[in-house]
Amino acid sequence: MFTSGKATSPSHLLLGVLVAGAIMAATPSRAASPAPLPFPFLLPPVAAYEPPAAAPQIINPREDDAAAYELPARLRRQVVTYATREAPGTVVIDTPNKYLYYVLGNGQAMRYGIGVGRDGFTWSGVQSVTRKAEWPDWTPPPEMIARQPYLPRHMAGGPGNPLGARAMYLGGTVYRIHGTNAPETIGTHVSSGCIRLTNQDVVDLYSRVAVGAKVIVLPMERRADLGRVAR
């Protein structure tokens, strides 16, 4: 063949084709494919999945039993009309109806749902609060040990203690008004004579009751009208 009047040899023609092909291969195309991924051993390590750590449980004496159990409406702490001649600050235990009234005065009382003594362990009378304790220790009396020899002889105060968050001791008796770590027992006959409230409620009552306060415990057979104490 001829170019510009000169003959081109076949070898020169082949060389030109090869050079043109190399130039085209070196020129990036408009729709270049993505670069291949590196070899697996060059990829950054992938951290193993770890679930988020659970927040530590904080036990609050005002709230530790609320989330686990909700009292029936009638047993929840509430201000009620309560006709009585007892002085404000007096505590009345309505054993048959399973209520504790803290007299506020002006015809009103704060009413709490309670657990009372089981059959054969209820009692009645008038006592006074002789001592108060936060997160009290528990030392079962000999009579209780005799009936239930498996009980511990002493248990330090804390969330697992049967006396709960607070206790108010009644006269020289073995009886107390105290909290409980079993709120589902409120409204039942369950104890050996002590009066129990939820930990939330006993903390509230504890903040109101003074040492020396009068405590009236009505007998089981005396069915008082709700909201008033018969004379």
Q: Which of 12, 154, 178, 189 is catalytic?
A: 178
3-state class (DSSP) for residue 215: strand
Q: Which of 12, 154, 189, 194 is catalytic?
A: 194
- 178-185 long-range contacts (CB < 8 A, ≥24 apart) are 178/136, 178/202, 179/61, 179/203, 180/65, 180/115, 181/64, 181/65, 183/65, 183/68, 183/69, 183/71, 184/69, 185/115
To the query of whether residue 178 is one of the catalytic residues in this protein, the response is yes
Backbone angles phi, psi at 117, to 5 degrees: -65, 145
The per-residue pLDDT for 31 is 46
The per-residue pLDDT for 59 is 36
Backbone angles phi, psi at 138, to 5 degrees: -125, 120
How far apart, in whole angstroms, are the C-alpha atoms of residue 147 and residue 127? 25
The per-residue pLDDT for 222 is 62
How far apart, in whole angstroms, are the C-alpha atoms of residue 178 and residue 27? 89
pTM: 0.66
How far apart, in whole angstroms, are the C-alpha atoms of residue 3 and residue 16? 13
Q: How do the pLDDT tens digits run along the chain, 231 residues long? A: 444 444 445 555 445 545 455 445 445 445 445 555 444 434 444 444 444 333 333 334 444 444 568 999 999 999 999 999 999 999 999 999 999 999 999 999 999 999 999 999 999 999 999 999 999 987 777 787 788 787 777 777 788 889 999 999 999 999 999 999 999 999 999 999 999 999 999 999 999 999 999 999 999 876 544 554 433
